[in-house]
Amino acid sequence: MQKSNIITVGYWSTKGLGSVCRMVVLYSGYSLKAKNYRLLPIMKDDSFTYDGSEWHEEDKINLKKRNSLINLPYIELTNSDGTELLISQSNACLSFLGRKFNMFGKNEVDVSQCEQLLLETNDLRNVITSFAYTHFKNKDLENEAAKDVFTRAFQNNNVGKIQKFENWMKDNQNNENYFLINNEITIPDFNLFDILDFYVEFLKYYNFVNDKNIKNIFNELGYPNISKFYNNFIQLPKMEKYLNSIFYKLTYTNKSARFGSGTQGDTWDHHRQIDETPKEIIIN
């Protein structure tokens, strides 16, 4: 394997902001070297603190010497001309990968659409992520906040965020390919898929849908185009490598989160669960 055909993705041992980078590398046919840092819960005075030293006190120290902005996620690669790149900031990583693999638009108009959609998908991610990391005093407050997330994401009016994508797709999809731009896959498609997948877990967990079959979930909520998009994306042959990998099984959020850090939406069970994610995984 040539050094230039492998891309390293460093992130916590969760999906979080790292999953889309891993997904894109595997989709592209490059080899993926994943560096996975565990956040370890530590019981102190009857409550938990979280030890991130696998990252903060190890690789971060050296990588910081090469890029003072270093953060998680980061990507690292050697280009075919020998240039070594170390990039952090998830949007910069994704834009870079998009340009490298010709999935960031072919002209000025497409590129600007990619940028807008990437940021719009991030807004959708932020709604559920901030909810997931909030610890509520009781179940009623949690359910109320879940309803608020549902409304902000799924209400069928000018405010609901998913409605924006539904309408975008109405204007931009044809009947054969279900992608956001020009019926060809681009970086925001990966980001949208990853976030919708997290919302699927949320919708099932809080019983916002009657039919929990993924084929019907978005249809039931009045989003036929989102449904086609999601169901098409999950069946793309080049997505198989990611979907069959350990990375698709990782939790959406890290152990400090209340929602999505454990199994099927639950909180990480500090007493019963052990994070056995290998520190380094290479998939060719």
Whether the CB-CB separation of 202 and 146 falls below 8 Å is answered with yes
The count of residues interacting with ligand GSH (CB under 6 A) is: 9
- The answer for residues whose C-beta is within 8 angstroms of residue 202's C-beta and 6 or more apart is 128, 146, 149, 208, 259, 260, 265
- Cα distances from 183 to residues 122, 135, 176, in angstroms, run 21, 41, 8
Sequence letter at residue 177: N
3-state class of 143 per DSSP?
helix
Q: Say how far apart CA 99 and CA 46 lie, in whole Å.
A: 49
Report if residue 78 touches ligand GSH, rule: CB under 6 A: no
SS3 content of the chain, % helix, strand, coil (to 5): 50, 15, 35
Site membership for ligand GSH, residue 186 (CB under 6 A): no
If binding is defined by CB under 6 A, does position 256 make contact with ligand GSH? no
| Three-class SS state of 278 | coil
> Does residue 217 belong to the site contacting ligand GSH (CB under 6 A)?
no
Task: Decide if residue 98 touches ligand GSH (CB under 6 A).
Answer: no
Q: Which stretch binds ligand GSH (CB under 6 A): 70-78, 165-173, 195-203, 272-280?
A: 70-78
Rounded Cα–Cα distance for residues 226 and 193 (Å): 10
The amino acid sitting at 105 is G
Stretch that binds ligand GSH, among 2-10, 21-29, 84-92, 147-155 (CB under 6 A): 84-92
Residue 115 neighbours by CB distance under 10 Å: 17
> Of the two residues 223 and 252, which places its CB atom closer to ligand GSH in the complex?
252
Least distance (Å) from ligand GSH to the CB of residue 136? 21
Among 6, 9, 15, 16, binds ligand GSH (CB under 6 A): 16
Residue 90 contacts ligand GSH per CB under 6 A: yes
**17 lies in the site for ligand GSH, by CB under 6 A:** yes
Q: Does 72 bind ligand GSH (CB under 6 A)?
A: yes
89-97, 132-140, 179-187, 245-253 -> range binding ligand GSH (CB under 6 A)? 89-97
Chain residue at closest Cβ approach to ligand GSH? 90
Q: DSSP E strands: which ranges in 112-185?
A: none
Residue keyed to tokens 């929990």: 212
**CB of residue 70 to ligand GSH, shortest distance in Å:** 7
Q: Note the residues at the interface with ligand GSH (CB under 6 A).
A: 16-17, 60, 71-73, 89-91
